Amino acid sequence: MVGNGGLEEALVMADLDPALPAAKLLGLRPLVAHARGELDRDAAILQAVTATRQFAKRQMTWFRKEPGVQWLMIEHSESVAHTAALVIGQVERFLLTLEGQA
């Protein structure tokens, strides 16, 4: 997030109303606090990473309880086109199962 402009985005958000939906983006609050001078850079990044990791763990816990979840293992080195093809293939297979139930 930080490597893709998160700190720059936080600078823009620092002057906006914190009640706006965009101000509630995952991991953004500590970066905005840094932009406002309330947190040092390393602490802000650590808090953003921690919040993101905690959210991901909650998602994994929730998804493990859902029947029929199909997991896709996507390597970091795979192209966007390859990833899109995997997702489209899974969606098409799922839609075929729905057609069979109709």
C-alpha R_g of the chain: 19
Is residue 42 classed as helix, strand or coil in its secondary structure? Answer: helix
Same domain flag for 53 and 6: yes
pLDDT at 102: 66
Higher per-residue pLDDT: 57 or 8: 57
Torsion of CA 28, 30, 31, 33, to 10 degrees: 120
Number of domains in the chain: 2
Q: In the predicted model, is pLDDT for residue 93 greater than 80?
A: yes
Same domain flag for 15 and 46: yes
Same domain flag for 57 and 26: yes
pLDDT digits (tens, 9 = 90+) for 75-90: 889 899 999 999 999 8
User: What is the span of the domain harbouring residue 52?
Assistant: 1-66
The pTM of this model reads 0.63
Longest pairwise C-alpha distance within the chain: 58
pLDDT digits (tens, 9 = 90+) for 24-75: 788 888 888 888 899 999 999 999 999 999 999 999 999 989 887 888 888 8
Cα–Cα distance, 102 to 24 (Å, whole number): 41
